[in-house]
């Protein structure tokens, strides 16, 4: 990529991360969940207008939409690129102080010598894959925000790159930036009809070269346990300790946890617990790539509850399970051109393409089930949601070029 555009890419990213856009799970249905996300949305609108994009708008929920018009009269599918503006609630995104480590030497990175905060290669061995590259890191007190402001910077820079190369023909390109992805709400109010694309790509993946079009099927479970509190001196045969019943549920699910699974293996993840002798509650998320196994996992949780009720009373344990999203492969398996173009573009930009399953969810999964096929492409950041997050500049360059090549290849394949 030309040096001018690399410099613009870095400058954009550093500007975007200066905005605190942390979303909140305590918003009680409000979108965006935090008003501060509007500030970045408004900045992006002004920037896109200044760059000459068309149909630039921000709606009442901080969704930003814009268009790069086609530069050819040929009939080419309208495609889109999407990234989210919010950062994770798991770590502060206020007052981010990034710095660039040029020609990384492969050693531990001291982020904050005063507080003794270090990114150690022994804990983050992925650093070894980026020796010699230029890494953007934090000062160790916040996350970085590469998830997903790297994606935003890459999309905007790719649009300017296409504008600078009119000899590269492309169709109408739509871009969108949304709030609240980190709390699972990014796609809920996304206007697929207004976006008007035949397919799209989220730029929200991690390691360079990765393409993702399979994700977990996902559900959230809330387990309520009602105990029977009796004076402990006279409790024999009478007391039912809700904490201990809840512990039995945990024990029954302990063999398949996030920390013991990988690849296509699903899990039960205990995310919260509260309790007393009288009552207790457990919060779980249920994940599996295979839809049949996903349904079996939900049944297993209900069966454990039934068994506990037989032991302690029919109303002791109740389980409420709510599906969250499904595996986008169901919607993409019959659209090989969507993933095929992405694979070829990644290979051109990176020299290889690695197809991996997402051990999580993505806005693209929900959008795919809303009628917008939407695989996920790497944005280059690593160690998301924490103070050890970093992004290699070279990975961001390759992501930008991937977008550029997708636009070109879509036009070329449509004219065959």
- Residues 317-372: tens digit of each pLDDT: 999 999 988 999 999 999 999 999 999 999 999 999 999 998 887 889 999 999 99
Both 259 and 171 in one domain: the answer is no
Q: Are 377 and 213 in contact (CB under 8 A)?
A: no
* Angle at 351 (CA atoms; ends 345, 355), nearest 5 degrees: 65
Q: What is the domain range of residue 243?
A: 217-325
What pLDDT was estimated at residue 415? 59
What pLDDT was estimated at residue 25? 85
**Residue 378: CATH number of its domain:** 3.40.630.10
SS3 318: strand
What is the Cα–Cα distance from 292 to 141, expressed in whole angstroms?
A: 42
Both 306 and 371 in one domain: the answer is no
The active-site residue, picked from 8, 20, 86, 204, is: 86
Both 181 and 257 in one domain: the answer is no
Both 29 and 166 in one domain: the answer is yes
Both 27 and 9 in one domain: the answer is yes
Per DSSP (E only), the strands in 194-234 are: 199-205, 210-212, 217-226
Q: Which residues pair with 58 in a beta bridge?
A: 64
Give the tokens for residue 69: 């018009």
**Tally of domains in the chain:** 2
Both 22 and 161 in one domain: the answer is yes
Q: Are 22 and 87 in contact (CB under 8 A)?
A: yes
Task: Give mean pLDDT in consecutive 10-residue pieces for the chain, a chain of 416 residues.
Answer: 95 98 88 97 98 97 98 95 96 96 97 96 97 97 97 98 97 97 91 97 96 94 96 94 97 94 95 96 96 97 97 93 92 94 98 93 89 96 95 98 98 77
Place of tokens 């994606």: 151
In the annotation, is 90 catalytic?
Answer: no
What pLDDT was estimated at residue 416? 47
What is the Cα–Cα distance from 406 to 352, expressed in whole angstroms?
A: 15
In the annotation, is 86 catalytic?
Answer: yes
Q: Are 169 and 74 in contact (CB under 8 A)?
A: yes
Both 292 and 403 in one domain: the answer is no
Which residues does 296 contact at the CB level (< 8 Å), separation at least 6? none
Say how many residues make up the chain. 416
Both 331 and 320 in one domain: the answer is no
Hey, what's the torsion of the CAs at 67, 58, 363, 97, to 10 degrees? 100
What is the Cα–Cα distance from 278 to 230, expressed in whole angstroms?
A: 9
Written as one string, the DSSP assignment of 109-146 is: EEEETTTTEEE-TTT-GGGGGGTTS-EEE--SSS---H
The active-site residue, picked from 20, 154, 180, 181, is: 181
Comparing CA positions, the residue from 394, 388, 303, 393 lying closest to residue 120 is: 388
Both 282 and 371 in one domain: the answer is no
Identify the domain boundary among 270, 300, 325: 325
Identify the domain boundary among 279, 299, 325: 325
For residue 377, the surrounding DSSP H or E stretch is strand 376-378
Both 144 and 154 in one domain: the answer is yes
Both 242 and 321 in one domain: the answer is yes
Both 221 and 368 in one domain: the answer is no
Identify the domain boundary among 261, 291, 325: 325
Q: Checking DSSP bridges between strand 117-119 and strand 135-137, what pairing results, if any?
A: unpaired
**Residue 284: CATH number of its domain:** 3.30.70.360
What pLDDT was estimated at residue 64? 98
């Amino acid at each position: 990529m030309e040096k001018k555009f690399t410099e613009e890419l870095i400058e954009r990213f550093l500007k975007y991360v200066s905005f605190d856009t942390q979303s909140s799970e305590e918003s009680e249905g409000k979108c965006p969940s935090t008003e501060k996300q509007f500030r970045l949305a408004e900045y992006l609108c002004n920037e896109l207008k200044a760059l000459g994009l068309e149909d630039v708008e921000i709606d009442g929920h901080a969704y930003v939409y814009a268009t790069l018009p086609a530069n050819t009269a040929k009939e080419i599918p309208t495609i889109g690129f999407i990234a989210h503006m919010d950062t994770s609630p798991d770590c502060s995104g206020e007052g981010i102080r990034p710095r660039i480590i040029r020609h990384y030497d492969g050693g531990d990175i001291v982020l904050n010598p005063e507080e003794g905060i270090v990114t150690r290669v022994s804990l983050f061995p992925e650093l070894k894959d980026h020796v010699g590259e230029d890494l953007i890191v934090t000062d160790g007190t916040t996350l970085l925000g590469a998830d997903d402001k790297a994606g935003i910077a890459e999309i905007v820079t790719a649009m300017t790159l296409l504008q600078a190369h009119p000899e590269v023909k492309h169709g109408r390109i739509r871009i969108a930036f949304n709030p609240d992805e980190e709390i699972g709400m990014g796609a809920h109010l996304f206007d697929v009809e207004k976006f008007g694309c035949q397919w799209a790509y989220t730029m929200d993946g991690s390691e360079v070269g990765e393409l993702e079009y399979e994700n977990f099927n996902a559900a959230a479970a809330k387990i309520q346990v009602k105990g029977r509190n009796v004076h402990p001196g006279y409790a024999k045969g009478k007391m039912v300790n809700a904490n201990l019943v809840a512990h039995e549920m945990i024990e029954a699910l302990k063999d398949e946890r996030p920390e013991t699974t990988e690849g296509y293996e699903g899990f039960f993840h205990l995310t919260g617990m509260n309790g007393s002798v009288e009552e207790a509650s457990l919060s779980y998320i249920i994940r599996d790539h295979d839809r049949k196994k996903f349904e079996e996992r939900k049944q297993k949780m209900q069966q454990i509850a039934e068994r506990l009720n037989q032991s302690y009373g029919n109303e002791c344990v109740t389980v409420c399970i709510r599906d969250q999203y499904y595996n986008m492969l169901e919607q993409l398996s019959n659209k090989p051109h969507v993933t095929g173009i992405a694979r070829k573009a990644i290979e051109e930009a990176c020299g290889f393409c690695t197809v991996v399953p997402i051990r999580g969810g993505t806005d693209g999964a929900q959008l795919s089930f809303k009628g917008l096929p939407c695989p996920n492409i790497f944005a280059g950041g690593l160690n998301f949601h924490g103070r050890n997050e970093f992004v290699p500049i070279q990975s961001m360059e390759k992501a930008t070029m991937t977008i550029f090549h997708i636009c070109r290849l879509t036009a070329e394949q449509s004219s065959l």
